Chains A and B, each alone.
Chain A
Amino acid sequence: MKSTRLTALASICAIALATLCTSASAEPGITKDTIKIGMFGPLTGPTAVGSLPLLGASAIYKSINDAGGINGRKIELVIEDDACDPNKTIAATKKLISQDQVFMIHGGWCSGTVMAIKPELASNPNLPFMVLGAASAAISTPVRPNIFQPVATTNTVADAIVAFAATKPNTKRIAIISHSDDWGKSHLDPEVAKLKAAGLEPIEIAYLERGQVDATSQVLRIKNAKPDIVIANLYPPELTAYLRDAYKYGLRAPVVTTQGVSVEDMVKRVGMAQATKELFVFYPLNNTLDAPAFKPWIDLYKKYNPNDPVETLSFMGMTGALAVVQALKDAGPNLTQENFMAALNKLKDFNPGIQSGTLTFSPDQHAGIREGKVIYMPGAKPEIVAKYPAN
């Protein structure tokens, strides 16, 4: 009997202590001197080139720590590999929320994976989520209060791509090759809508699925349609297969593609300069990497990632990280998830000089960037162009 009472007393004390501890730091992931941020992206697998934006974003956080932190707190990163696999992303998100109890999450390179965790984010409405690089417009439309997208969305990309394609003289016949997943469709649908609005119908829409390494039938279908230009909504491995097969079968139509790839990486992957000479890539940055204005960002990236490649994608997560840092500063020392998101919603024309356009969030608009350019590789160095270059 005595033992039972003692056990009950001990249990009550333990519960009381736990409650006290909880109320002392009610905000998850916040201590007196740290802010815990969860990150995830494809560190392995065929789309692991998407780890570059994660490295860029983490370089920003590390540099902030080296400069003394934010309002007396240093940023502690918990990084997970989702390999762009929705199942792994769901598991990583649950772990970051439940086990690591992070203050916020900054992650997601593949749109399909971010779409997969939207229900999880909806059931944790206090958890701020900053997208790393995933571009599907459906991520931030309609607006979810805790999801912020600091990249040009697929709607913006589709606008820019179709507008660019139309600048090629006498362009009437436009073909599209696309993935059929969420990400592919989120580009394809607005592209078709834009083309129709311009009085053009795609002459061929071919699908190349993720993981396919042979694009023969797709290339031959498109070649048969005799396009003036081809729009490609493909991830890097499949775009490589398409470009190599297109060159192999004599399909010479220029290709315009999304920000899911980097032009330097594609030139390297395809390994045939002729096959990538007329590859035009939506460019999310405001300068080429060799521009003097971009050097400080390259130096910062290299400082924290000395052994990793420096490519366009390396800088795609940086603006989001800088927005997070700015909002953490603006939220002040009494940091909560609520006042952090309120600070994000007040970011207007935020322009650290990396992205092609300024970043603006508001309670009604969480797709932060609505501008972009096009880049291609006519020779040894990439060039940013506003319209199809005259030969």
Chain B
Amino acid sequence: MLPQLLISGIAVGCVYTLVALGMTILFRSTTIVNFCHGEFFMLGAFGVLVPLQLFGWPYPAAIATSLVLLLVVGSITERLLIRPLKNAPFVTLAMMTVALSFFLKGVSRFFYGREVVSLPPLLSGDPIELGDFATLFPQDLLVIGFTVVVVVLLAIFFARTRLGKVIQAASQTPRGASLVGINVPLLRNVMWAAGAFMGAAAGILIAPSTLVYPDMGGTMLIRAFAAMCLGGFGSLPGAIIGGVTLGVLENLVGGYVSSSLVEITAYLVIVIVLVIRPQGIFGEWKQSRV
């Protein structure tokens, strides 16, 4: 049972990682905690479901449409709702994302209130038997593979590319970045679009394994927060380690301690980390001089 719990935990944890990464890149570049990221996740899944169901499109076209749609949604969100509040306190920005979260959920409930829909697997085929110990399913393989690709690309982007470095610099000293001619609002807009894109990608990947419904983002948001807390808020390696660890931890707790504890594992992680190491595994204390 242990190998299977570990492998399944890693697959689920990869989804948590993708959601946490979407929130992390936004947090790193804008210092905003996005409470409507769960709804980007939900919209990604619905963005695939609607063309599949209503128009009978093939999966690749539906996925491409959904991802492009969420890029646009992220960009519009920043331009219309966040940018006008650029000088507002963080709590105001956070409340705006909370309001947007409820709005998006409400809209999807309006159209799909009663529906809890399943999607066909993105990858079909025979499961891969790992000896007598565990089975790896094509869908899980896809999730893990996609996460690895995203992690590598993000690492290269932020560490090796000029744009990645500029984005990080602009988030740390936006005024300084503006003075040297960097278009900070544009960069923030791009990062909102990228964050929404990441949320959508995670939603698309997990939807065939679970179900698609308007409230699917809430649970995932808590998991992503727990992953970020565990790994360290704003840390890319932290989001990865945090997400995978949480997925594995949930499975091990459910498998060996009590299945009734699975649901509260994420909350327990948040509480324990905040008490023992508030900055998380990879986070750093930021001190400022007044």
What is A's interface to B at a CB cutoff of 8 Å? 43-46, 48-49, 51, 180, 206-209, 211-214, 216-218, 220-221, 224, 236-237, 240-241, 244, 248-250, 269-271
A49 B120 Cβ-Cβ under 8 A? no
A51 B114 Cβ-Cβ under 8 A? yes
* B268 vs chain A, min Cβ distance (A): 14
- Given known pairs A180-B260, A248-B137, the reply for A46 and B215 (CB within 8 Å) is yes
Identify which of B21-29, B56-64, B148-156, B247-255 touches chain A. B247-255
- Given known pairs A44-B109, A216-B251, A221-B259, the reply for A241 and B210 (CB within 8 Å) is yes
B260 A213 Cβ-Cβ under 8 A? no
- B116 partner, pick from A216, A217, A236, A248, beta carbons under 8 A: A236
> In the complex, A241 Cα to B216 Cα: how many Å?
13
A216 B113 Cβ-Cβ under 8 A? no
- A44 partner, pick from B4, B120, B214, beta carbons under 8 A: B214
Check: B12 CB closer than 8 A to any chain A CB: yes
Instruction: Tell me the number of A-to-B contacts counted with CB atoms below 8 Å.
Output: 102
B118 A270 Cβ-Cβ under 8 A? yes
Number of interface residues of B (CB under 8 A): 37
* A275 vs chain B, min Cβ distance (A): 11
- B120 partner, pick from A48, A206, A208, A271, beta carbons under 8 A: A271
- A48 partner, pick from B113, B211, B252, beta carbons under 8 A: B113
Q: Report which residue of B109, B116, B258 has the largest number of chain A beta carbons within 10 angstroms of its beta carbon.
A: B116
Which 6 A-B pairs rank lowest in CB-CB distance, beginning with the nearest? A217-B254, A44-B113, A213-B210, A207-B260, A48-B114, A209-B263
Check: B88 CB closer than 8 A to any chain A CB: no
Which of chain B's residues 180-209 have a Cβ closer than 8 Å to chain A?
Answer: 206, 209
Closest to B127 in A: A248
Give chain B residues whose Cβ lies under 8 Å from the Cβ of A44: 109, 113-114, 214
Give chain B residues whose Cβ lies under 8 Å from the Cβ of A249: 4, 135
* B48 vs chain A, min Cβ distance (A): 15
Closest to B262 in A: A217
- A216 partner, pick from B12, B206, B213, B263, beta carbons under 8 A: B12
Which of chain B's residues 78-116 have a Cβ closer than 8 Å to chain A?
Answer: 109, 113-116
B259 A206 Cβ-Cβ under 8 A? yes
A214 B12 Cβ-Cβ under 8 A? yes
Give chain B residues whose Cβ lies under 8 Å from the Cβ of A211: 215, 218-219, 263
Give chain A residues whose Cβ lies under 8 Å from the Cβ of B227: none
* A44 vs chain B, min Cβ distance (A): 4
A224 B1 Cβ-Cβ under 8 A? yes
- A49 partner, pick from B9, B116, B216, beta carbons under 8 A: B116
B211 A240 Cβ-Cβ under 8 A? yes
A237 B114 Cβ-Cβ under 8 A? no
Check: B8 CB closer than 8 A to any chain A CB: yes
Give chain B residues whose Cβ lies under 8 Å from the Cβ of A213: 206, 209-211, 216, 219
> In the complex, A207 Cα to B253 Cα: how many Å?
12
> In the complex, A304 Cα to B151 Cα: how many Å?
53
* A306 vs chain B, min Cβ distance (A): 15
B250 A217 Cβ-Cβ under 8 A? yes
* B183 vs chain A, min Cβ distance (A): 40
28 cross-chain CB contacts under 8 A: A43-B113, A44-B109, A44-B114, A45-B213, A48-B113, A48-B114, A48-B116, A49-B114, A206-B259, A207-B259, A207-B260, A211-B215, A212-B219, A214-B12, A214-B250, A216-B4, A216-B5, A217-B8, A217-B254, A217-B262, A218-B254, A220-B255, A221-B259, A236-B116, A237-B116, A237-B211, A240-B118, A241-B210
List 17 extra interface pairs beyond A46-B213, A211-B218, A213-B216, CB under 8 A: A44-B114, A45-B213, A48-B113, A48-B115, A48-B116, A49-B114, A213-B209, A213-B211, A213-B219, A216-B9, A216-B251, A217-B254, A220-B4, A220-B255, A237-B211, A270-B118, A271-B120
Give chain A residues whose Cβ lies under 8 Å from the Cβ of B219: 211-213
> In the complex, A173 Cα to B214 Cα: how many Å?
38
> In the complex, A212 Cα to B206 Cα: how many Å?
13
Which of chain B's residues 1-20 have a Cβ closer than 8 Å to chain A?
Answer: 1, 4-5, 8-9, 12
* A121 vs chain B, min Cβ distance (A): 27
Closest to B207 in A: A213
> In the complex, A218 Cα to B210 Cα: how many Å?
15
Closest to A209 in B: B263
* B192 vs chain A, min Cβ distance (A): 27
- Given known pairs A209-B263, A212-B262, A240-B118, the reply for A217 and B5 (CB within 8 Å) is yes
Give chain A residues whose Cβ lies under 8 Å from the Cβ of B137: 248
B213 A208 Cβ-Cβ under 8 A? no
Give chain B residues whose Cβ lies under 8 Å from the Cβ of A224: 1
Q: Report which residue of B12, B118, B206, B216 has the largest number of chain A beta carbons within 10 angstroms of its beta carbon.
A: B118
* B25 vs chain A, min Cβ distance (A): 24
Q: Report which residue of A208, A214, A248, A250 has the largest number of chain B beta carbons within 10 angstroms of its beta carbon.
A: A214
Closest to B120 in A: A271
* B227 vs chain A, min Cβ distance (A): 15
B255 A217 Cβ-Cβ under 8 A? yes
- B262 partner, pick from A45, A48, A209, A248, beta carbons under 8 A: A209
Closest to A50 in B: B114
* B57 vs chain A, min Cβ distance (A): 18
Give chain B residues whose Cβ lies under 8 Å from the Cβ of A217: 5, 8, 250-255, 259, 262
B259 A45 Cβ-Cβ under 8 A? no
A45 B109 Cβ-Cβ under 8 A? yes
- Given known pairs A46-B213, A240-B211, A241-B210, the reply for A218 and B114 (CB within 8 Å) is no
> In the complex, A236 Cα to B260 Cα: how many Å?
18
> In the complex, A269 Cα to B118 Cα: how many Å?
6
> In the complex, A134 Cα to B259 Cα: how many Å?
25
